[in-house]
Chains A and B, each alone.
Chain A
Amino acid sequence: MDLVRILVVDDEEDFLETLVNRLNRRGMSAQGALSGREALKMMEEKEFDVVVLDVRMPGMDGLEVLREVKNRWPFVEVILLTGHGSVESGIEGMRLGAFDYVMKPADLEVLIEKIQQARERKILRES
């Protein structure tokens, strides 16, 4: 099976770098983007399977990015990450087609499992 192609989007540089490194060390192909716009640009150039997306970012926030991603790449699965869990934004996120809504700090094992489920979903949908 090909490597899972993951795009992590978070404006906190340290967090982003750590998570991308960890995912790569665990045999996945992860890249990072520091903003929604950067993420969308990267998605135009390269195909990803799963996007791990911070909800609260300056500029384009996570829900806006999610909407754009689901409009343009409906098969790409999005996992929302949130520092301050909010039920309203959770409902909104799920309604917009997110695969999951995960509260920070997310356990790496849990996150990896969710990424794999999201990837499996994409494969099932495409088949």
Chain B
Amino acid sequence: MLKSTIELARYGIPWLGPAMAFLGGLALLAEGKGQWPAIAVIFGSVLSAGGIYSLLRSLRKGEKERALLDVRMLQSHKLASLGELTAGIAHEINNPLAIIGREAEWLEHLLSTMPPAEGVPRKELLESVREVGVQVNRCREITQNLLSFARKMEPIFQKVDVNRLVEDMVKLVETETQGKGIEIVRDYQQPMEPIMTDPPGLRQVMLNLLNNARQAIEGRGQITIRTRALEDGRVQIAVEDTGCGIPREHLPRIFDPFFTTKAHGKGTGLGLSICHGIVDRLGGRIWVRSEPGLGSTFVVELPAKPKRAS
């Protein structure tokens, strides 16, 4: 905890300056003191948004290193403590982030209604202030992911027809794969006894896995969804794609939070770790088989009912 406090201070203090410049400039701007305050506001907000972004990045990097050091201890324990840490930080960052976002919007409004004046590069100012908004949204997405990752919503176990739930999510993904050369193959075991599990949790897992499968396929390919009931009542759901596969060296880390190979800004690296957390809470397991170049298969296995009395 101490280490993270130091980290917070180290990366937090640099953007306090720009933030002050931003607010000061804003005050002057409100009094109508011309173009320099406007520039201070924009610079301040760009820098402080940048500061917050780099703070999040550095936290992310720190967590990555920590995750590496950890020799695959019980994943769920790791996720829990990480959850507490990240939730605290994400909460603290959300407020200044919201203020920066609001002020940038206000600034954009002011700039766009300002009468043109000599020597004021209004177009550039507008572009720059819009970029602040974009980056603030990006930070907001990260903090929200962190929060949801940390949110400890106890699952509520309800009777679920697995095939129907899976099919609902497959249909949704199909609306986006249609006409794009991705074929969806359904292989559901019928009939199948309902199980007791958390429906929205399982939906979230399925959507993430299906979405990953879709993104793993470049050009043409196939996604196969299989459901099977085991003799003891457990249920397995497999999502198989003919996509790019996962390099062997990545396999041990793909369920780690923040681990991502997607392009910058495309993925937070939390999808699979959220899935892992949910499946874990449902008393199940999730694993992957993958052959680079041939594709991956994610398997979710769920008990017929939770082990804990409910």
Contact = CB atoms under 8 A, between A and B. Distances in A.
Interface of A: 84-87, 90-91, 94-103, 117, 120-121, 124-125
Given A87-B207, A95-B148, A125-B156, A103 B175 contact: yes
Main secondary structure of the interface of B (DSSP, over half): helix
A91 B207 contact: yes
Interface residues of B, number: 24
Interface stretch (B68-76, B196-204, B217-225, B246-254): B196-204
B203 A97 contact: no
Interface in B150-203: 153, 156-158, 168-169, 171-173, 175-176, 199-200, 203
A51 B145 CA distance: 24
Contacts of B172: 85, 87, 90, 101, 103
A90 B172 CA distance: 8
Nearest to B151: A97
A121 B131 CA distance: 42
A121 B211 contact: no
Given A95-B274, A99-B199, A120 B208 contact: no
Contacts of A97: 153, 200
B173 A100 contact: no
B307 to A, nearest CB: 18
A95 to B, nearest CB: 5
B207 A100 contact: no
B34 to A, nearest CB: 35
B276 interface: no
Contacts of A117: 158, 199
